[in-house]
Amino acid sequence: MLRFLARRLALAVPTLILASMIIFALQQLLPGDVATALTGEERDPQVIAFIRAKYHLDQPLPVRYAYWAGGVLRGDLGESIRLQKPVSKLIVEKLPVTLELACLAMLVALAIGVPMGVLSAVKRGQAADTVANGIALWGLSVPNFWLGILLILLFSVELGWLPASGYVSPFESLSENLAAMVMPAFVLGNAIAAVMMRHTRAAMLGVLGSDYVRTARAKGVSPLRVTLRHALPNAAIPIITLGALEFGQLLSGAVLTEQVFSVPGFGKLMVDAVFNRDFATVQGVVICTAATYIALNLAADLLAAAVNPKLRRA
């Protein structure tokens, strides 16, 4: 297991380094001079000279990357030009909000996706299967920001049951926090639920066709017990692995969901930074996302290997 871990780490680290190079190189895409682009509206030659010196803009690209990467390793993601704050501090402030949203969304996805997938595998080819597949297709096709708008129209504008926006910290008031998070979590979890359903269905179909399930049935074990006690635990492995990978998807989706519901998280930070032309913050958010994704990938691999020793040789 240790050797497996070492091999996976040996793959993950270069991937992260390469991803950081790509993210750093993004600033080369800025039209015109990087220093003027970074200062935005400001045209004061002194400011531009300051920026030029601060970001070593007179140096060639690899040298600038080395400065930046060195900073990133020390936890220094640069400074937000607009907010006059270190980017790392901004991210640490916003991250808990998005993590809460992502975890709630994952709960929604599991609560909808797994039972639906199990049901459609057990009732394969029957009406319940068709309905579940239809719901999954709907979940995959509906843009989540539109779903958010529709929910606001119904539950906030028409019925007045839930707040359309306005985040409250769970430490201030848990009930208000949850009231504000219900709709964003549902919207964000909806698309993942569809993916979960499809994978649960496929995994369950594989397990339900295996010999030991047939044996259990032949022994006279009740169908419900076969499904839940014999089949589901074995189908759970790919579902857990997928769940970890879908977290990256959640971070993507959070950008739009947070925008629709004005949730002050990671995604909102990124969009605001894009509009303020605050490129250090954009890069910081993207590199954190990539690092999270790589870490989750690694965790998913290790989890799968821990459960299934055969995978350790891969």
Partner 1 sequence: MSTGTPIAETAGIAAPTGSPGLIQEPGTVTAFWRRLRARPSAIAGLVIVGLLILMAVFAPWIAPYDPTATDWGNVRGSPSLAHPFGGDEVGRDVLSRIIFGARASLGAGLVSVALAVSLGLPLGLLAGYAGGWIDGAISRLTDALLAIPFLILAIALAAFLGPSLVNAMIAIGLSATSTFIRLTRAQVRAVAAEEFVEAARAMGNPPWRIAFVHILPNIVPAILVQATLTIAAAIIAEASLSFLGLGQQPPEPSWGAMLNTAKNFMDQAPWMAIWPGLSIFLAVLAFNLFGDGLRDALDPRQRA
Residues that bind partner 1 (CB under 8 A): 11, 14-16, 18-19, 21-23, 26-27, 29-31, 124, 137-138, 140-143, 145-146, 149-150, 152-153, 157, 202, 205, 248-249, 251-253, 255-256, 259-260, 270-271, 274-275, 279, 282-283, 285-286, 289-290, 293-294, 297
For partner 1, the closer of residues 129 and 221 by Cβ is 129
Structure tokens belonging to residue 229: 């006690």
SS3 79: strand
User: 79-80 and 85-86 as β-strands: parallel, antiparallel, unpaired?
Assistant: antiparallel
CB of 305 to partner 1, least distance (A): 18
CB of 195 to partner 1, least distance (A): 12
Cβ(106)–Cβ(243) below 8 Å: yes
For partner 1, the closer of residues 111 and 137 by Cβ is 137
Alpha-carbon distance of 222 to 154, in angstroms, equals 43
CB of 172 to partner 1, least distance (A): 26
Task: Name the H helices within the chain.
Answer: 2-25, 34-39, 45-54, 61-73, 87-122, 127-141, 144-151, 174-208, 211-218, 223-225, 232-261, 266-275, 279-307
For partner 1, the closer of residues 128 and 224 by Cβ is 128
CB of 220 to partner 1, least distance (A): 29
Alpha-carbon distance of 285 to 23, in angstroms, equals 10
Alpha-carbon distance of 183 to 236, in angstroms, equals 27
For partner 1, the closer of residues 28 and 84 by Cβ is 28
For partner 1, the closer of residues 33 and 174 by Cβ is 33
CB of 152 to partner 1, least distance (A): 6
Torsion angles phi and psi, residue 264, rounded to 5: -80, 70
For partner 1, the closer of residues 79 and 278 by Cβ is 278
The total number of residues written for the chain in this structure: 314
CB of 120 to partner 1, least distance (A): 11
Alpha-carbon distance of 151 to 183, in angstroms, equals 7
For partner 1, the closer of residues 14 and 45 by Cβ is 14
Neighbours of 308 (CB within 10 A): 14
Alpha-carbon distance of 26 to 34, in angstroms, equals 11
CB of 173 to partner 1, least distance (A): 26
